[in-house]
């Protein structure tokens, strides 16, 4: 074969091979390296844990004993930078249509995160938006080591829901004491693709949230000395090994 023709054929083979490999490489890119989000979109990268605590009922009820606590450790790539936060839910037995967990507070060590949550939820989740509480770095720490997530709150938090909340919300007022949570992930990781959730435009917000999470079930220990003494409450929850969450603003009007 003519050397010139042979060289052309070899060049074509190389081009074809590169073209075939490129899509495969693109397909295998880590999720966090996907295309840049739309303008105005806020992206958070974090690990975390989620647990429901059905604590022993005290002899004289002095606190809520059906709680759900979500703890998050956002890394510095997130839209508001590094942040530790907890969301506190309380079981509301008199909620219209049947009992359910109601978000009543968010505790964060990042002022920009506090401001963002207030902006998103004010006028929508009344109880939560009234109790978006900024604490100091050492008063709330959430961190991950391999398949273990720790969350440590060292400050008592007063949670008070006032007007214009309905009565069922005002019945949820209480003081959350210092506590420690330990999540130990076990079994295989599974991927969970969340459906987009949009805050009603009637509140003046209209932001849409969507998350992709890599999760494991977790053994959870909770220490709440003011309520349980030295006893560690144990149960099963969820360990979020990695989560990518996006907030997309409403279309410009």
For the chain (253 residues), the mean pLDDT of every run of 10, in chain order, is: 43 39 37 58 97 82 85 97 97 89 96 93 85 97 97 96 85 93 97 93 80 98 94 97 95 76
d(CA 242, CA 202) in angstroms, rounded, equals: 32
Phi-psi region of 98 (alpha: psi -120 to 50; beta: other; left: phi over 0): left
pLDDT of 187 reads 95
pLDDT of 189 reads 97
Write out the two tokens for 233. Answer: 């409450």
pLDDT of 60 reads 56
pLDDT of 205 reads 77
Please, what's the b/e burial string for 200-233 (b: 16 or more CB within 10 A of its CB; e: otherwise)? eeeeebbbebebbbbbbbbebebbbeebbeeeeb
* 152: nearest Cα among 82, 223, 217: 223
What letter would DSSP give residue 212?
A: E
Element (H, E) at 208: strand 208-223
Residue whose tokens read 């400050």: 155
pLDDT of 15 reads 37
pTM: 0.82
pLDDT of 61 reads 59
């Amino acid at each position: 074969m003519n050397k010139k023709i042979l060289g052309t054929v070899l060049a074509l083979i190389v081009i074809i091979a590169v073209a075939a490999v490129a899509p495969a490489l693109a397909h295998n890119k880590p999720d966090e390296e996907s295309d840049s989000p739309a303008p105005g979109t806020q992206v958070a990268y974090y690990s975390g844990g989620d647990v429901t605590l059905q604590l022993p009922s005290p002899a004289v009820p002095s606190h809520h004993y059906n709680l759900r606590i979500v703890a998050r450790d956002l890394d510095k790539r997130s839209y508001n930078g590094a942040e530790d936060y907890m969301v506190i839910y309380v079981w509301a037995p008199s909620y219209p249509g049947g009992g359910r967990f109601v978000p009543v507070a968010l505790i964060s060590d990042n002022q920009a995160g506090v401001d963002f949550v207030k902006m998103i939820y004010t006028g929508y989740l009344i109880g939560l938006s009234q109790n978006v509480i900024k604490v100091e770095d050492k008063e709330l720490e959430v961190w991950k080591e391999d398949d273990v997530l720790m969350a440590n709150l060292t400050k008592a938090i007063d949670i008070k829901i006032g007007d214009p909340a309905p009565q069922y919300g005002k019945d949820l007022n209480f003081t959350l004491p210092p506590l420690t949570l330990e999540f130990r992930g076990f079994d295989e990781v599974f991927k969970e693709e969340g459906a987009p959730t949009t805050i009603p435009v009637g509140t003046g917000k209209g932001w849409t949230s969507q998350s992709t999470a890599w999760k494991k079930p977790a053994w959870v220990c909770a220490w709440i000395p003011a309520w349980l003494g030295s006893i560690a409450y144990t149960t099963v929850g969820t360990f979020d090994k990695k989560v990518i969450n996006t907030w997309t603003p409403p279309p410009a009007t």
